Chain A
Amino acid sequence: MTDTAVATEDIARQFGDVWAVHGVDLAIPAGEIYGFLGPNGAGKSTLVRMLCTLLRPTRGRGIVAGHDVARHPEQVRLRIGVALQDAALDDRQTGRELLDLQGRLYGLRRDERNARVAQVLRLVDIGSAIDRQVKTYSGGMKRRLDLAAALIHDPDIVFLDEPTTGLDPESRAAVWDEVRMLNQEHGTTIFLTTQYLEEADELAHRVGIISRGRIVAEGTPDELKRTVGTDVVVVRLEDLDEATLHALRQVPGVEEVVADRHEVMVHAENGAAVVSPVAVALHDAGAAVVSLTLRTPTLDDVFLQLTGSHLEAEEGGAGGATAPAQGRTRHEAVRP
């Protein structure tokens, strides 16, 4: 396999008048876990469907495992494993039958299929349920079987489209462990889309943040977080007005103030040093403070700084893991 597992050049996809993906450039080296982070409707799944040959790009190019996805889709299919959003399974097969069928379609001989089923079941723990019909599985088990089906032919590159959406925390952690093991022990390149900040932070070597069909930032989670400063003082207020924001901007050591309705993010190199001055400034401005906390930056702060809205707020309320804050539809980015 080439050193670059996935590369795109200005890849774009249009549906009617809408550009779902609007000119994305990627270069993902082999062996990397790449996290593609963005809210629902940002274009994550459309990009994955182009890269795994289900959709033809409207323009641009996608190269996966050294092969052009538009010109040589059959070569790409041999080298990738895909677990699409929502486990795509047949409820009336047993888990073992489903895996065996996948193996047959990838041209594996009986001994190869048996060996691979045993191997993927060591990675993806389904237990004795493997011989039960899929309709008896829990959501977490279906996700794990979906992952196993994506791995049955030992692919070089695996696309996981929101692999933990809708899972309980325990099942989510199990999938994370399996993804890590797959990458560390087998060197598999993993392209992971997610709307969960924590998931991208925990799993990905590098993260691409996508908003409205465009990549707005890319780097390691630490690199991205450093772009918004080292610490954040989060202040929740009963009412937010320009005078309060002005007062906060005047506090020595404050680098940036970002407001989102009743919440203000005060960015500072040394958060601990500005907590007291911030509290005093709020008091002097007559602000009614609900809470004040100090934390290190998250990818949500990166997203907020780049797009002017929280990641959850852009989800439109559809099935987010962290429930979108009610009424958080208006936002305002204020820079000192």
Chain B
Amino acid sequence: MTSTAVAPAPAPARRVQARPAGFVVDVASVARRAIRQIPREPEAVIPALIVPIFFYVLNIGALSTVTRTAGIDFKAFELPVAVVFAVTGVSRASALVTDIQNGYFDRLVITPVRRLPLLLGLMTADLTLVAALAVPVLLVGLGLGVGFVTGVAGMVVFIVLSGLWGLVFTGLPYAIALKTGNPGAVNASFVLFFPITFLSTTFVPAPALQGWLRAVANVNPMTYILAGLRSLVSNHITGGRPGPVWNFTVLGEAVLAIAAFGAVSLTLALLALRGRVRRR
């Protein structure tokens, strides 16, 4: 007798049920993709690290001797500037424009994903990146002999404040990316970086600023952010009598400046997101 081997029929595939993933999962999913892309685009990250370190070393090499006569510890004074340079303007806005242009953004919009996580996920990735960029710049400063009067806790606050500033600044390029879908416009948004960072106490303390520059610096949030960051590094960074180790007044003003800037930039970004996903 012969027997015939009969291959079992493949079991029918079990059907799955699509469902909303939930807000946190949506944010995490979008952020996970964005973070994964970062090391795949080293050309977007490496300059953001090299340029601020280069200018930090250059500036303190050129001006330390001059500023020392004025009683300013220029290495400590400029370290927050270097970190702010590293974290300002770093965002996934260009990648977002690419998604808009090639239709991938539409693919995401057709899924049940909530609309806000499409932006918050990218910002979460940005926060991760700017914090990662701030650390090596900080280490360079420490390597050059800058000490933190507030210790390790102060360094952590320094990174957090820098990261938050970098995050709220991304609202501008995201607003432009979502509004225009144009890579050129997003790149042009970098010009906003210059007035915000240079019409401030970037190179000299506030009392040394004169005339219109002083007036502009007084209303520029960057002035207060730099002051807050500098207060974490040294309590007598511009000479004179040492202040308190933790200057909560100055730190509070820095937080308020970040919050005020963020209220504007993030509102613009959210409005642009709403316009982009609205089914016209």
A residues whose Cβ falls under 8 Å from a Cβ of B: 52-56, 73-74, 77-80, 82, 84, 86-93, 97, 101-102, 104-108, 112, 115-116, 119, 133, 149, 153-155
Q: Please, which residues of chain A bring their CB within 8 A of the CB of B279?
A: 53-56, 73
Q: A-B pairs with the 8 shortest C-beta distances?
A: A88-B103, A107-B19, A153-B18, A107-B21, A105-B111, A56-B279, A106-B18, A104-B29
Q: Digit string of B1-40 for contact with A (CB within 8 Å is 1, else 0)?
A: 0000000000001111011111001100100110011001
Given contacts A56-B280, A102-B111, A104-B29, whether A155 and B104 have CB atoms under 8 Å apart is: no
Interface positions of B (Cβ within 8 A of A): 13-16, 18-22, 25-26, 29, 32-33, 36-37, 40-41, 99, 102-104, 106-113, 279-280
Given the known inter-chain contacts A92-B40, A93-B33, please indicate yes or no for A82 contacting B18, CB distance below 8 A.
no
Given contacts A93-B33, A104-B21, contact A153 B16 (CB under 8 A): yes
- Minimum CB distance partner of A186 in chain B: B13
Whether B103 lies near A107 (C-beta < 8 A) is no
Given the known interface contacts A53-B279, A54-B110, A106-B111, the answer about A154 and B18 at a Cβ–Cβ threshold of 8 Å is yes
Task: Tally the A-B contacts, defined by beta carbons under 8 Å.
Answer: 95
* Complex contact B18–A78 (CB within 8 A): yes
Which residue of B has the minimal Cβ distance to A86? B103
Q: Please, how many angstroms separate the alpha-carbon atoms of A82 and B109 in the complex?
A: 11
- Bound complex: CA of A54 vs CA of B29, how far in Å? 21
Given A88-B107, A105-B111, decide whether A93 and B36 contact each other with a Cβ distance below 8 A: yes
Give A149 Cβ to nearest chain B Cβ, in Å.
Answer: 7
* Structural contact, A88 and B113, CB atoms closer than 8 A: no
Pick the most buried of B15, B18, B280: most chain A CB atoms within 10 A of its CB. B18
CB-CB under 8 A from A105, the residues of chain B are 21, 26, 29, 108, 111-113
Could you list some 29 contacts between A and B, CB below 8 A?
A: A53-B110, A54-B279, A74-B112, A77-B111, A77-B112, A78-B18, A84-B103, A84-B107, A86-B103, A87-B103, A90-B37, A90-B99, A92-B40, A97-B33, A97-B36, A101-B32, A104-B25, A104-B29, A105-B21, A105-B29, A106-B18, A106-B19, A106-B112, A107-B19, A107-B21, A107-B22, A107-B112, A116-B16, A119-B13
Other A-B pairs, 19, CB within 8 Å; known A104-B25, A107-B25: A52-B110, A53-B279, A54-B106, A56-B280, A74-B20, A77-B110, A84-B103, A86-B102, A88-B103, A88-B106, A91-B102, A92-B41, A93-B36, A106-B18, A115-B16, A133-B40, A153-B18, A154-B15, A155-B18
Q: Which of B20, B107, B109 contacts A107 (CB 8 A)?
A: B20
Question: How distant is the Cα of A138 from the Cα of B88 in the complex, in angstroms?
Answer: 37
Q: Write out the residue numbers on chain B whose beta carbons fall within 8 Å of the beta carbon of A79.
A: 18
Q: B108 — which chain A residues lie within 8 A by C-beta? A: 105
A207 nearest CB across to chain B (Å):
25
A136 to B118, CA, bound (A): 26
Q: Closest CB of chain B to A77's CB: distance in Å?
A: 5
Residues of A within 8 A of B99 (CB): 90
For the complex, what is the distance from the CA of A329 to the CA of B26, rounded to whole Å? 50
